[in-house]
Structure 1
Amino acid sequence: MACHKKDANMTDKYYVTTPIYYVNDVPHIGHSYTTVAADVLARFFRSAGRDVMFLTGTDEHGIKIVKSATEKDMSPQELADSVVVGFRDLWEKLNISNDDFIRTTEPRHEKRVQKIIQTLVDKDEIYLGSYEGWYDEGQEEYVTESAARQNDYLSEINQKPLVRYSEENWFFRLKKWAPKLIEYIEANEGFIKPKARRNEVLSKLKMGLESGELGDLCISRSKEKLPWGVEMPNDPGHVVYVWVDALSNYYNALGLPEIGDEFDGAGRRYWPADVHLIGKDILWFHAVYWPCVLMALDVPLPKCVFAHGWWTSEGQKMSKSLGNFISREKVAEICDEYSRGAFRYYLLRAVVFGADGDFSMEMFKQTYNVDLANGAGNLLSRTLKMISKYFDGILPEATAELPEAKELLVAADALRENSQGWMTNCQFHRYIDAIVHLVDATNRFIEETAPFKLAKDESQRARLGSIMYTCAEAVRLVLLYLEPILPEEASTGLALLGYDRADKPLDQAGKWGGLACGTQTQTADPLFPRKA
């Protein structure tokens, strides 16, 4: 799948990416988390009327791929092809709406990597040098002597022993661009989020320059040591090292730089990316290596790199031996038992995006029952049942003044006014909190106005009708804003209300009064059946 051309008149673009996932491992909850978050952003901004590009994909080169393939008696390409199926299947299971899926073994990517490298050669931004030092094979990066010593010569990430390497390679002049990057980060507060991660990067950059330990970036490997990769255009004896290869996918997927093929410039208007969503373990590569390479190429930097936290499971680090590993199969099992929408909702509800989180099935069930079954789902059901019982399912007019509706109306207005800002800043917790607050305010409104009592008094018919309309309209807004997270359930609920959005952008659709009086509503089974 390649970047496709959309309506050229749509100028208000939004470009969101996930990392391209390494195919030496099968997909799990960590991959799901980043991709669901990106999908929710993509769906929200499409709903807001923006021209959206949502990219994900797989990273298929590198020494780890070669080693994994050898262990499985496969070629690297065969391994990549087999693992990619698992990622595609999981994204389908989770209802992911990516516009493109890029693989680093595709010619459209490999040829553009070579064009980027050749441009760096022509600009004298890379040079042939030698290196001897410690190498983290898991992260595929060299480690300084002091960092290696501090961690007892073990990987900081996976605790495996570092390897001593000595070889001649091509290097990118990272030190040249580091001071300019520091200036850029300090002048653009939102470039790295959350703030704690920004501070980490700045501190490490400054300390590296001051101590002299920040070296230039090795961007190649000899074919003898790594036969599986993109050949260096200026040196057939070397292949491009994984980070320049992998990171450039965000740019290459848009048909950039142009190389004379059918993909040239197809997504040019989307650059720079609005946000790269990543896990915190790959922040340095995205917040330092990638922007410095872009600066050297004279290409605008992405607007934001957002690093989220890691997941534990049932209070412990995930491990297959402990039986708490949230694998692709486990994710599918949860989706089948509850719904894929419920799983998507929990990922963004359980933890502030950017912090570490723990996946607990007990908390999952509790969140599902409280927020969805007893919350939004029950509010929809009771509203539809009352309209059916008191008005034969026909939505009545709202003619009476309802002072009791003040909290509800304030909550609805706050959701509409703030939703875009929250989503722009990946503040999913605040967005969901506002939806839950509207649900709670509407339930309190029902208890306070007691429509079941008013229904017994014919003289209160106008007031009863106004209450029913207010409830229905509040539920419509709840479902409308839940739609990026729970697209199927929200769509079903809106159809039960008889609501036809007619392609209105979210800012218009989110205004109070979107339901037409006289609309036929329907009752149905609960959207979210309660789990015992």
Structure 2
Amino acid sequence: MPDPSCSFYVTTPIYYVNARPHIGHAYTTIVADVLARRARAQGTPTWFLTGTDEHGQKIERSALAAGIPPQTFTDQVSASFRDLWKRMGITNDQYIRTTDEAHKKGVQKLFADLHAKGQIYLSTYTGQYSIGEEMFVEGPPGTIGPDGKPTETVTEENFFFRLSDYQLPLLNLIESDTLKITPEARKNEVLSFLRGNTSGAPGPDSGTWVSTDLKQSAKGILYLPGALKDLSVSRSSFTWGIPVPEPAASEAKEKHVIYVWLDALANYITALGYGSDDTTQFEKFWPADIHLVGKEIIRFHCVYWPAFLLAAGLDLPKAVTAHGWLLFDDSKMSKSKGNIVRTETILDAFGTLLPPPAALTSDALALGIRGGLQPPVNGTENEGALAPGSPTPPPEPTKQDQDLFAADVLRYFLLREIPFGQDGSFTFEALITRYNADLANGYGNLVSRTLNMIHKYFDGVVPPSWVSSNSVVLESSVKESQLFDRFVNDNSSGTWVTRLPSEAVALSLAVGRNTQLLRFNKALEACSELIRLLDSDLTSKAPWKVIVGLSDDEMQEKRASVLYTAAESIRIITALLHPILPYATAKVWHQLGLGDIELAAANGELKNLTWGGLQPGTKLGPLSPIFPRADKGLAQTMSDMEQEKSKAPVSNAPVSKLVDEKFNASPETPQDPTHPGAPPRAFGEATTVAGSNAHSTERPGTPPHAEAASGIFSAPFMPESNPGMSGSTPAAGPADASPQITIDDFAKIELRVAQILVCERIPKADKLLRLEVDLGYEKRQILSGIAEWYTPEDLIGRRIVVITNLAPRKMRGLESHGMLLAASTEGGKPHLATFAGADDLPLGSRLK
């Protein structure tokens, strides 16, 4: 986390208002909220920004499909995001909308400044435009865009940004980590895009011939000058956007609106007052400490955004971090697939488990057991029994309390279950299992056992401790780095500190370090480990049992020592968990007799945690269960709720429902070309842009890759069984027949041994995987349409056969250089080609 003397500025991406929020949106927002809460608790001035992105052709068309004006459309969907964050207790300091007047003014200032500096110029362009992703895509007419839909041929007069001028500056900034991109795979993806195609030129020290077209960055890494093209930053075929300001507007023949990504990215500075008369917040919080984004928009944030800032003379953000996708039924959540999980479903279902807020009597033992307390075993006293003397029955929990309780459950699951930066699976069953194991049986049970025994044996007053805070020191033989081994590093071999007080001190250090590294799962693993140790200590020492030979005073001293150690450890654990479980930890803090945890955080009581902060003599607050156990049947309840929502009729629905359900509808195309619903004007085949260095629409000389856009080379080739693939149908004949070729034709095909190093799914391309393969003499990126049959985990490390002399081709905005060799029956699973003894062959060996 940042130095308390500095400020901390964290942002989420602003969410596109094409549909209602789901738990994928919640995931990013939760991470930002955790970072912001922790920074505030450390005493750091903090600004947490989120909001919605509301302009662009897609929104204009969606509004038309819903039969409402664009502003009404965006008002409805943006409100659904804002309302959800309130239900979840998200503590954003600002909620920005790109339809805000202050934002529009700031964007126009940025555009005007770039234009005045000569960084924006007017030209024309013909190319393929992806409406779904609001971006131009390389390729011929009919190219499938990143959203999985055909692009449209667009010819427009455009303003262009001189993005090509920033290829080397961006390479140097990213390679040196001046602009830090994490995780490493995303950094490499951006660098690969910036460097261009350097295939066949491993480097100056390899002894291999290097093309004179290549140059070296400051780190001595090769790149292809000119690979980064100028960027269109305006559109004139629709009107739903921020108008291009003067004097640039007067240069154009038509009215232009600013490119949706320049508009959206600028929110990070306009939110702080950039472009306004008051820049106090901008001067205090910019540059951002961290932009949190989804991995599918990493290029926009790590190429376009820093280039805009460099051109404007503004500081760059310190870090951009991309998280993975949430996978449901083994695929990325998407509206078109119908596998979206709405956060509201989890809030409504888990909220019903919230127990009453006040203390319960021993007569309510059944509810206590449901809350994670242990029943009597073999006639022994129940150490978790609830205290007697409850007041009148407590009121039912409010809906707000239920929402905040359920939000804690979702927060914990997402951060504990999914290593940040990687894809993660979500199922209702997994959510319930993790909740019961870690929260109901773990943290919740430990709190209930400990505090109820203090209530029983010490009248609800924290007992004196016979462990001096001065005695809780790190053993002289144990280095601080070894403490981190216990809770931070995998496969640790350092000496372990065995005393519970010292474990709690080590935990505080470990959680802080893991959070700083965005390793939330490791931080929570550390907390679970200490909870397990405490639970085990309580069970082994059994303070509820009377030991023969000990006097009453000696028994009380023993109980006091055990229970104080547990209670003080709970205080430390609770303080560390507060950014992740704000509602539940507030209840525990109050039950410990410590009052308002938010006030404690504001006063700095949750930082620099040391042993002894829980003062003996402190009166406990009213007790109640924290996390009741969840029945497995709750998974079916949530599944049914999702199905009911998807079946809800549209006809009598409010506008917000129409917006969500009609998003992909196809309205009748207006004949008037100036109508907001009219398609972009098409002028046939894409042509080179005269007078600009803009995107090339098709690589000259590149074969059509008719073999398979999916990246599979198989026999027989069946285009009709592979949607989206181009090429002609083979001649009729037996299923396994192919047209005859000569030996010269076969000799042209170069097959080599390769090993898969990286494999991941591609956004909005359900059949495609992105692979990085090692050929021994170089590494390549290949796109392959085998995601229906292979998961990334199946492929990493495997040795395969690659066709290496296919010309590179752009697909889904990514370059694919090569093709995997596979075989299949018609309509069957493709089986990747491999052979016995492959491990004995050097990578790059040619098959003959």
Please, what TM-score do these two structures have when normalized by structure 1? 0.91
Cα distance between partner residues in 2 of 1:186 and 1:304:
13
Aligned to 1:439: 531
Contact 2:325–2:332 (CA under 8 A) maintained in structure 1: no
Give secondary structure in 1 for the equivalent of 2:192.
helix
User: Which of 412, 434, 437 is 1:367 aligned to?
Assistant: 434
Instruction: Indicate how the Cα distance of structure 1 residues 441 and 255 shifts in structure 2: closer, same or farther if over 3 A, else same.
Output: same
Residue 396 of structure 1 contacts residue 465 of structure 1 at CA under 8 Å; is this kept in 2? yes
Task: Answer yes or no: is 1:272 the counterpart of 2:287.
Answer: yes
The one-letter code sitting in structure 2 at the alignment partner of 1:48 is Q
* Pair 1:475-2:593 in alignment: no
Where does 1:217-366 land on structure 2 (aligned, <5 Å)?
217-222=231-236, 225-233=237-245, 234-235=248-249, 237-257=255-275, 259-260=276-277, 263-318=278-333, 324-337=339-352, 339-366=406-433
- Asked if 2 retains the 8 angstrom alpha-carbon contact of 1:388 and 1:522, the reply is no
Q: Among residues 132, 139, 142, which one is paired with 1:138 in the alignment?
A: 132
Please say if residues 178 and 318 of structure 2, whose CA atoms lie closer than 8 Å, have aligned partners that are also in contact.
no
Contact 1:94–1:344 (CA under 8 A) maintained in structure 2: no
* Partner secondary structure for residue 527 of structure 1: coil
Map 1:176-191 onto structure 2 (within 5 A).
176-188=165-177, 191=180
Residue 7 of structure 1 is matched in structure 2 by none
Q: Which amino acid aligns with 2:629?
A: R
Measured in 2, the distance between the counterparts of 1:116 and 1:69 equals: 28
2:144 matched residue in structure 1: 154
How far off is 1:138 after superposition?
1.2
- Corresponding residue of 2:681: none
Matched with 1:499 is 594
Give the Å deviation of 1:211.
7.2
State which drifts further: 168-177 or 10-19: 10-19
AA matched with 1:194? P
- Which one of the candidate residues 149, 170, 175 is aligned to 2:164? 175
Task: Check whether the contact 1:276–1:302 (CA below 8 A) recurs between aligned residues.
Answer: yes
Deviation at 1:398, TM superposition (A): 1.1
Cα distance 1:397–1:191, how it changes in 2: closer, same or farther (>3 A)? same
CA distance in 1, matches of 2:578, 2:82: 22
Offset at residue 493 of structure 1 (A): 0.5
The question of 1:422 aligning with 2:514 is answered: yes
Deviations, residues 255-312 of structure 1 (Å, cap 9, x unaligned): 014x33xx44334211111111111111100011001111111111111111101111
Tell me the secondary structure at the aligned position of residue 280 of structure 2: coil
Whether the 8 Å CA contact 1:220–1:232 is kept in 2: the answer is yes
Aligned to 2:668: none
Which residue in 2 is equivalent to 1:100?
A: 94
How far is the alpha carbon of 1:323 from its aligned partner? 5.6
Counterpart-to-counterpart distance in 2, 1:291 and 1:454: 68
Provide, for residues 316-335 of structure 1, a one-character-per-residue CA deviation record: whole Å limited to 9, x for no partner.
Answer: 44356766421244243345
Residue 6 of structure 2 contacts residue 44 of structure 2 at CA under 8 Å; is this kept in 1? yes
CA distance in 2, matches of 1:57, 1:317: 23
State the superposition RMSD in angstroms: 2.3
The answer as to whether partners of 2:173 and 2:179 remain within 8 angstroms in 1 is no
Q: Which amino acid aligns with 1:358?
A: S
Deviation per CA, 1:384-432, whole angstroms, max 9, x where unpaired?
A: 1111122111111111589999343343222322333322332211221
Distance 1:334 1:186, change over 3 A: farther
CA 1:211–1:190 in 2, change beyond 3 Å: closer, same or farther? closer
- What's the CA shift for 1:189? 6.8
Residues paired across the two proteins, number: 513
The residue type equivalent to 1:303 in the other structure is K
Mapped contact 1:308–1:353 kept (Cα < 8 A): yes
Q: Find the partner of 2:152 among 158, 163, 170.
A: 163
The structure having more radius of gyration, on CA atoms, is: 2
* Structure-2 change in CA distance of 1:250 and 1:449 (3 Å): same
Question: How far apart are residue 191 of structure 1 and its match?
Answer: 0.9
Show the counterpart of 2:230: 216
Alpha-carbon distance in 2 for matches of 1:180, 1:60: 31
What amino acid sits opposite 1:431 in the alignment? A
Shift of 1:186: 1.0
Q: Tell me which amino acid in the other structure corresponds to 1:174.
A: L
SS at match of 2:12: strand
Contact 2:591 2:622 in 1 (8 A): yes
Which residue, 189, 194, 217 being the options, matches 1:205?
Answer: 194
Report the equivalent of 1:194.
Answer: 183
Structure 2 distance, partners of 1:169, 1:62, is 15
Paired residue type of 2:508: R
Letter aligned with residue 446 of structure 1:
L
SS where residue 333 of structure 2 aligns?
coil
Q: Give, in angstroms, the shift of residue 455 of structure 1.
A: 6.7
Kept after mapping to 1: 8 A contact 2:269/2:282: no
Find the aligned partners of 1:190 and 1:289 in 2 and give their Cα distance.
13
For structure 2, the residue ranges without an aligned partner over 5 or more in a row are: 198-222, 354-405, 473-495, 632-848
User: Structure 1 stretch 399-408 or stretch 298-307: which is displaced more?
Assistant: 399-408
Check the 8 A contact 1:400/1:463 in 2, yes or no: no
In the alignment, what sits opposite 1:38? 32
Structure 2 vs 1, CA of residues 400 and 46 (structure 1 numbering), >3 Å: closer, same or farther?
Answer: closer
Shift of 1:169: 0.5
User: Aligned with 1:232: secondary structure?
Assistant: coil
Identity of aligned residues (%): 42
> What is residue 389 of structure 1 aligned with on the other side?
456
TM-superposed CA distance for 1:349, in Å, is 1.4
Structure 1 residue ranges without an equivalent (≥5): 1-9
Paired AA for residue 136 in structure 2: Y
Q: Secondary structure at the match of 2:103?
A: helix
Q: Which residue of 1 aligns with 2:581?
A: 486
Bigger CA drift: 274-283 or 230-239?
Answer: 230-239
Q: Distance in 2 between matches of 1:121 and 1:89?
A: 38
Distance 1:128 1:405, change over 3 A: closer
Letter of the aligned partner of 1:52 in structure 2? T
Flag the 1:285–1:488 CA change in 2: closer, same or farther, 3 A: same
Give 1:214 shift. Answer: 2.3
Q: Secondary structure at the match of 1:171?
A: strand
Could you tell me which residue of structure 1 aligns to residue 767 of structure 2?
Answer: none
Q: Tell me which residue corresponds to 2:445.
A: 378
Deviation at 1:207, TM superposition (A): 1.3
User: 1:77, CA displacement in angstroms?
Assistant: 0.6
CA distance in structure 1 between the aligned counterparts of 2:345 and 2:532, rounded to whole angstroms:
32
Aligned counterpart for 1:461 among listed residues 556, 564, 577? 556
